[in-house]
Amino acid sequence: MPETSGGKPSVLFVCVHNAGRSQMAAAWLAHLAGDRVEVRSAGSAPGTEVNPAAVEAMAEVGIDISAEVPKVLTTDAVRESDVCITMGCGDTCPVFPGKRYLDWSLDDPAGQGVEAVRPIRDEIRALVEGLIEEIAPEAKA
């Protein structure tokens, strides 16, 4: 696994609106891996705010994402990341040689209540835990 100049792997989570899945994934990775992994998230067509149900679902597990804002996907964000994980954004993510690309097929929490978002949150946590085992195993909490 290539590493950024800081000596730690970097991960970019991408979904269409950067309002639900990618925000939850970034929060889980930052929470579980701490400062051992550089975390970014972005959207191919960012929304105006983070999904309130995603904010509530993450708050239930003690992670506050209420201050996060959707960010636009840039070529630089992909270029600067070792692993790019897409979540239903298709082929809008630019591809660079030497990067690792994963696609996580997850339900879109947009427009759903917290009851529907909880299982997505928990599935993302399991995927993130597996990712940490691969790229930064000593960082697992």
pLDDT value for 97? 82
- pLDDT given at position 137: 84
Q: Which tokens is 17 given?
A: 């609106």
What pLDDT does residue 117 have? 97
Predicted local distance difference test score (pLDDT) of residue 118? 98
pLDDT at 133: 94
Give the global pTM. Answer: 0.90
In angstroms, rounded to a whole number, what is the distance separating the alpha carbons of residues 131 and 75? 23
Name the token pair of 20: 């639900």
Per-residue pLDDT of the chain (141 residues; tens, 9 = 90+): 444 446 899 999 999 899 999 999 999 999 999 999 999 999 989 999 999 999 999 999 999 999 999 999 999 999 999 999 998 766 567 778 888 999 999 999 989 999 999 999 999 999 999 999 999 987 445
Q: Which residues are catalytic?
A: 15, 89, 93
For 64-132, the three-class secondary structure string (H helix, E strand, C coil) is: CCCCCCCCECCHHHHHCCCEEEECCCCCCCCCCCCCEEEECCCCCCCCCCHHHHHHHHHHHHHHHHHHH
Class (C level, CATH) for 10-134:
alpha beta
User: What is the separation of C-alpha 109 from the centre of its chain, rounded to a whole number of angstroms?
Assistant: 14
What is the reported pLDDT for 96?
Answer: 80
